[in-house]
């Protein structure tokens, strides 16, 4: 006596349609959530990189969370460019920037923009 359980069935393939839908939804989400555009580039030379010799009087700008200092003397932001112009021979003379006391990067960028508005173009960043 032999038993028959009916015709053998083929193994079912998994349905990939829901998985493909999820992948496309994730793709659309990350495309819409990402930021498109160019990033800002900071044109800074690093101290000791040999990009040219330093000459003239010291021009060290300390950038602190609560203000700026020129050669160790606190200075108002509006006076920085005019005081530096007396220390620099040309606008291409290097201005040394140093972040102090946990100053944020945005403070450094603000100081650079302030100096650019005053006509200075060459900056060197030190620790």
pLDDT of residue 42: 64
pLDDT of residue 35: 74
**pLDDT tens digit sequence for 86-122:** 888 887 888 889 998 888 988 998 999 999 988 888 8
Residues 6+ apart with CB under 8 A from 72: 60, 62
Cβ atoms of residues 112 and 123 within 8 Å: yes
Tokens of 35: 């930021």
pLDDT of residue 46: 58
pLDDT of residue 53: 61
Residues 6+ apart with CB under 8 A from 117: 81
Q: Residue 20's pLDDT band (boundaries 50, 70, 90)? A: very high
Three-state SS for 55-114 is CCCCCEEEEECCEEEECCEEECHHHHHHHHHHHCCCCCCCEEEEECCCCCHHHHHHHHHH
Q: How many CB atoms lie within 10 A of CB 111?
A: 21
pLDDT of residue 6: 73
Q: Which of 10-14, 23-27, 57-61, 102-106 has the lowest mean pLDDT?
A: 10-14
Nearest-angstrom CA–CA distance, 124 and 43: 9
Q: Measuring CA to CA, how many Å separate 115 from each of 37, 48, 65, 92?
A: 26, 22, 17, 12
**pLDDT tens digit sequence for 29-86:** 988 888 776 666 666 655 555 555 666 778 889 999 999 999 889 999 888 888 888 8
Q: Is the pLDDT of residue 22 over 90?
A: yes
pLDDT of residue 8: 75
């Amino acid at each position: 006596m032999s038993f028959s359980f009916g015709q053998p069935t083929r193994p079912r393939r998994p349905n990939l349609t829901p998985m493909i839908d999820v992948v496309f939804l994730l793709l659309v989400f990350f495309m819409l959530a990402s930021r498109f555009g160019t990033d800002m580039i900071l044109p800074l030379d690093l101290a000791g990189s040999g990009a040219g010799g330093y000459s003239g009087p010291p021009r060290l700008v300390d950038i602190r969370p609560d203000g700026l200092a020129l050669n160790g003397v606190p200075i108002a932001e509006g006076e920085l460019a005019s005081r530096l112009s007396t220390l620099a021979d040309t606008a291409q003379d290097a201005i040394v920037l140093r972040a102090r006391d946990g100053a944020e990067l945005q403070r450094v960028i603000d100081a650079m923009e302030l100096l650019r508005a005053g006509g200075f173009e060459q900056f060197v960043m030190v620790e």
